[in-house]
């Protein structure tokens, strides 16, 4: 952790990223994390998540953590109830979706499309497909032509084991799509394209308005570039020890890694009165 010792003042709501933050590298909720969420609830502090995952990938968290507030999926582009029914849904405008697909394929990336409630791809044995199966708990739909889904794409993902190449792709594709889509890496190996002007920061603002909690009383947790918009819209932010340096620099505090119960440690050190 950092040397910072001041607690966040009067926090009423905690919003956490999931992968790389709330769960371990092998996608588990530890007993310490579950207990920390319970302590927040006992203290009267609300808790929910904002994730790059599709809504179906949040189902296990709802049951294990007893979540009872709206959740942010697809990096905030979809807001769902705890039963996963939609409160708000957006898709990528079709022209931007088609250009994103073309550019991701031209970069030599594996491409996934989340559309019509399904995880769609061409190669079921491609990079990280086994990890995604474990993460979201569903099987992919095999689609010969991903272009047929561009009218309904909620998220398009470029996938690569070459993390440096993916980082370079993020810069190029982000610049090309500009304000027509939101482009962030949610993991070193995933490049997410989601609807424009909608990100996890937008979800923080949505929850602030929905619950009547001012932003300064909201704390956020994250580890990746797609979590920085949350930090910008909340009063207190915590970066995980495994986070990128730029994410740590943007946070109010830094905790231990997701594999060392960093979330639970930070809740006790920074959040709970």
DSSP H helical segments within the chain, as ranges? 31-42, 59-65, 94-106, 129-136, 163-177, 200-211, 228-233, 245-250, 262-266
What is the pLDDT averaged over residues 140-151?
97
Task: Identify the pLDDT of residue 273.
Answer: 76
> Using an 8 Å Cβ cutoff, are 222 and 243 in contact?
yes
Cα angle for residues 210, 214, 216 (degrees, 5° grid) = 140
What is the pLDDT averaged over residues 237-254?
97
Per-residue pLDDT of 27-83, as tens digits, reads: 999 999 999 999 999 999 999 999 999 999 999 999 999 999 999 999 999 999 999
DSSP state letters, 150-206: TTSEEEEEEE-S-HHHHHHHHHHHHHHHGGGSEEEEEETTEEEEE-TT-SHHHHHHH
Task: Identify the pLDDT of residue 1.
Answer: 38
DSSP-based three-state secondary structure for 254: strand
Whether residue 88 has pLDDT greater than 50: yes
* Burial label, 131 (beta-carbon count in 10 A; 0-12, 13-18, 19+): middle
Domain boundaries, the chain: 13-89+198-271, 94-194
* Burial label, 128 (beta-carbon count in 10 A; 0-12, 13-18, 19+): middle
Q: How confident is the model at residue 7 (pLDDT cuts 50, 70, 90)?
A: low
Round the average pLDDT of the chain to a whole number and report it.
95
Query: What does DSSP assign to residue 231?
Result: H
Task: Identify the pLDDT of residue 45.
Answer: 97
Options 3.40.50.1360, 3.40.50.150, 3.30.1240.10, 3.40.50.1100; CATH for 94-194 is: 3.30.1240.10
Whether residue 3 has pLDDT greater than 70: no
- Please, what CATH class does the domain formed by 13-89+198-271 belong to? alpha beta
């Amino acid at each position: 952790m950092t040397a910072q010792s001041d607690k966040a003042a009067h926090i009423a709501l905690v919003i956490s990223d999931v992968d790389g933050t709330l769960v371990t590298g092998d996608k588990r909720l530890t007993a310490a994390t579950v207990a920390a969420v319970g302590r927040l609830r006992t203290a009267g502090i609300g808790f929910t998540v904002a994730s790059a995952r599709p809504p179906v990938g949040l189902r296990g968290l709802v049951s294990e953590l007893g979540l009872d507030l709206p959740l942010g999926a697809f990096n905030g582009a979809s807001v769902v109830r705890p039963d996963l029914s939609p409160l708000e849904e957006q898709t990528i405008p079709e022209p931007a979706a088609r250009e994103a697909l073309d550019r991701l394929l031209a970069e030599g990336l594996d491409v996934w499309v989340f559309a019509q409630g399904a995880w769609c791809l061409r190669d079921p044995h491609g990079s990280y497909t086994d990890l995604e199966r474990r993460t979201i708990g569903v099987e992919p739909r095999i689609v010969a032509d991903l272009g047929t889904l561009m009218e309904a794409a909620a998220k398009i993902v470029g996938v690569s084991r070459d993390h440096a190449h993916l980082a370079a792709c993020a810069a190029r594709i982000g610049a090309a799509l500009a304000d027509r889509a939101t482009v962030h890496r949610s993991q070193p190996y995933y490049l997410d394209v989601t609807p424009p002007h909608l990100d996890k920061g937008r979800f923080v603002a949505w929850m602030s308005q929905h619950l009547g909690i001012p932003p300064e009383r909201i704390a956020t947790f994250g580890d990746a570039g797609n979590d920085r918009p949350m930090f910008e819209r909340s009063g207190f932010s915590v970066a995980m020890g495994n986070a990128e340096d730029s994410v740590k620099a943007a946070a109010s505090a830094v905790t231990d890694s997701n594999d060392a119960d960093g979330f639970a440690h930070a809740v006790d050190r920074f959040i709970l009165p």
